[in-house]
Amino acid sequence: MSSLLAFLALLWAQTFGVDKKPAPKAEIVEVNRIWSRAPHNAFTDLVRFRGRWYCAFREGTKHDSYDGKIRILSSPAGDRWDSAALITDDRGDLRDPKLSITPDHRLLLIAGLAYHPPSAVRHQTVAWQALDGRDWGPPESIADRDVWLWRVSWHRGKAYGFGYGTSDRKFLRGYIGHDGIGFQTHTENAFDRDYPNETAILFRGDDTAVCLLRRDAGSMTAQLGASRPPYRAWSWTDLGVRIGGPNMMSLPDGRIVAAVRLYDPKPRMALCWLDTEQPALNEFLSLPSGGDTSYAGLAWHDDLLWVSYYSTHEERTSIYLAKVKVPKKP
């Protein structure tokens, strides 16, 4: 009888998962504050280029002040960081710097220039290029006035990105470029409901493009866009969650990690799995953060996810670098 009961108990456990171990979770390996010298340090991006790390962000007195400068930090191993450059513009506030690597192996930096008021033009996207992360030269104006080209993604030798209208008309305009400086309109109006703005575009192995879009009116819920070559027509699905500062990348196993600010129940720097089939955005890890936070840079190195971001949870608004161990794909 005892052996029969033991067998039935084992069968029950195997059937209903009593003896199954919980699925492994993402683990924060370390988080370090790497910069906090300005009153407000925010809006980061991160890239590894020619054996060194580069982290770009805005320095200012406040989140919405008109005195923003772009600081570029550099580090060979990601532990000790030094200032490689400080970029200023007398015309206005430099915001939301984004880094990428061009097909001919140069660093491309783009940012939004918010003109000092009063001005007939509110915003102009500007770009710089460098070979070493230190000498960036003069800025070049790209895209259209008052259409902020927020981030670009490279695919098959071309740069793609969405700019959003910053004047009275709120819409997304698709751009395409070949050298990081010359951009042409690719899609005049890809989306125009409930104030679309910040975006991240990612290209899958089958050449499908996906876009994570922030909105700041109406329901304020994020949209997931999808497109096939030549990427002129986009379809959109509501993800049902409010986000800020979107960025995303594909892991070596094909899963998509999205880094966003989540608002409910409180603002935080969140890492999420982006499911393009459901579709859904599912948080799997919250990084130490609070208040004014997010705008992450993402990189994969030494089997770890590297995340630059900013947050106000300690002393002042500062720049942080996290290393995250991600569980293997089930």
Domain assignment of residue 103, yes or no: yes
Q: What is the DSSP string of 105-125?
A: S-EEEEEEEEEPSS-S--EEE
Confidence (pLDDT) at 330: 84
Q: What angle do CA 140, 143, 149 make, to 5 degrees?
A: 100
Q: Is there a contact between 57 and 310 (Cβ–Cβ < 8 Å)?
A: yes
Domain assignment of residue 15, yes or no: no
Confidence (pLDDT) at 83: 98
Domain assignment of residue 181, yes or no: yes
* DSSP annotation of 215: E
Domain that holds residue 241: 26-325
Kindly state the greatest CA–CA separation across the chain: 89
Place of tokens 């506030």: 93
* pLDDT tens-digit map of 46-61: 999 999 999 999 999 9
Confidence (pLDDT) at 24: 87
Domain assignment of residue 297, yes or no: yes
Domain assignment of residue 142, yes or no: yes
Residue 39's CATH number: 2.120.10.10
Domain assignment of residue 258, yes or no: yes
Alpha-carbon distance 84 to 108, whole Å? 15
Tell me whether strands 147-155 and 140-142 are parallel, antiparallel or unpaired: unpaired
Residues 6 or more apart in contact with residue 145 via CB below 8 angstroms: 121, 123, 124
Q: Is there a contact between 138 and 127 (Cβ–Cβ < 8 Å)?
A: no
3-state secondary structure 285-306: EEECCCCCCEEEEEEEECCEEE
Alpha-carbon distance 153 to 100, whole Å? 8
Q: Is there a contact between 212 and 198 (Cβ–Cβ < 8 Å)?
A: no
298: which strand partners? Answer: 307
* pLDDT tens-digit map of 52-110: 999 999 999 999 999 999 999 999 999 999 999 999 999 999 999 999 999 999 999 99
Provide the mean pLDDT of the chain.
94
Confidence (pLDDT) at 49: 97
Looking at residues 158-172, what average pLDDT do you find?
97
Domain assignment of residue 21, yes or no: no
Q: 308 — phi, psi (to 5°)? A: -95, 145
Confidence (pLDDT) at 315: 83
Q: Which of 297, 221, 228, 224 is nearest to 262 (CA)?
A: 221
Looking at residues 242-246, what average pLDDT do you find?
98
Q: What angle do CA 137, 143, 147 make, to 5 degrees?
A: 120
Domain assignment of residue 265, yes or no: yes
The total number of structural domains that make up the chain: 1
Specify the 3-state DSSP secondary structure of 11: helix
Tell me whether strands 82-87 and 69-75 are parallel, antiparallel or unpaired: antiparallel
Place of tokens 């975006």: 199
Confidence (pLDDT) at 137: 87
